[in-house]
Amino acid sequence: MSHLFDLTGRRALVTGSSQGIGFALAKGLAEAGASVVLNGRSQDKLNEAAESLQEVGADVATRAFDVTDHDAVRAAIDGIEGDLGPLDIVIANAGMQHRGPLEDFPPDAFEALLQTNIASVFHTAQAAARHMIARKAGKIIAIASVQSALARPGIAPYTATKGAVANLVKGMATDWARHGLQCNAIAPGYFDTPLNAALVADSDFSDWLAKRTPAGRWGEVHELAGAAVFLASDASSFVNGHTLYVDGGITASL
């Protein structure tokens, strides 16, 4: 069965992959045999991430572009296809968080969440799908969240965007499955990442999380790699429009 998970000879773009979850996903795909293209806005950070992967033998390229800019995303993906070759796998991972009481939530922060967490998924998926549809094959994976299903105080706009991601992949599957594409989402629970640094540093929150999560702990980013390899590989050839929760059981338990 191991050949079903083998990504040798395939190329993957992971947005927002200079650090955190995106970097862990890119590393996991590379370890499964894929060539990876890292994306972010800082070329310096991308270079550091690429060097780290190259040290363990990965085939890595980098592309710096803003995933909230539709034209820039399309130009970048068209350029990758032309310069490096076909993209078999695209993971739309770029995201942001902004916390605050909903009654005082700044409208500009709300707009930034919409652009970064949901519009960027649309831009990336559409640009990639135009190439994949012509080849009648492709894997598109969006990064949703435990907040696609649950809410907690202070992050209502973030919750809205991640609920939209889960529904967008259903729409992608509905439109594009007939063209040979598989479009799914991974929904991480609470992971120790730069995005969650404030929560990780909050001992009261970490204690609450350990009690709330059946696994009793924060997740570690490498624990997301298996889900990404599964959804990027032939093993998921009939999985479409699905959101896979990797959350230590938090969505299964009251």
Q: Encoding tokens for residue 190? A: 């609470």
Task: Kindly tell me if the per-residue pLDDT of 129 is higher than 90.
Answer: yes
CB-CB contact of 242 with 230 (8 Å): no
Closest to 241 (Cα-Cα) out of 161, 162, 160, 182: 182
CA distance 97 to 171: 24
d(C-alpha 120, C-alpha 9), whole Å: 27
| Residue 29 predicted with pLDDT over 90 | yes
At 1, is the pLDDT very low, low, confident or very high (cuts 50, 70, 90)?
A: confident
Distance CA 111, CA 126 (A): 21
Please tell me the predicted confidence (pLDDT) of residue 214: 98
* CA pair distance 115, 95, nearest whole angstrom: 9
Average pLDDT, the chain: 97
Residues noted as catalytic = 158
- Structure confidence at residue 195 (pLDDT): 78
Question: Would you state the pLDDT for residue 91?
Answer: 99
Check residue 36 and give its pLDDT. Answer: 98
| pLDDT above 90 for 57 | yes
pLDDT tens string 72-124: 999 999 999 999 999 999 999 999 999 999 999 999 999 999 999 999 999 99
| Percent of the chain whose predicted confidence (pLDDT) is above 70 | 100
Alpha carbon 74 to chain centroid distance? 18
Q: Which pLDDT score is estimated for 60?
A: 98
Q: Any idea which fold 2-243 has?
A: Rossmann fold (3.40.50)
pLDDT at 198: 87
CB atoms within 10 A of CB 185: 28
pLDDT of residue 2 exceeding 90: no
pLDDT at residue 216 greater than cutoff 90? yes
The string of pLDDT tens digits covering residues 193-210 is 887 888 899 999 999 999
How far apart are the C-alpha atoms of 231 and 174, rounded to whole Å?
Answer: 17
pLDDT of 241 reads: 98
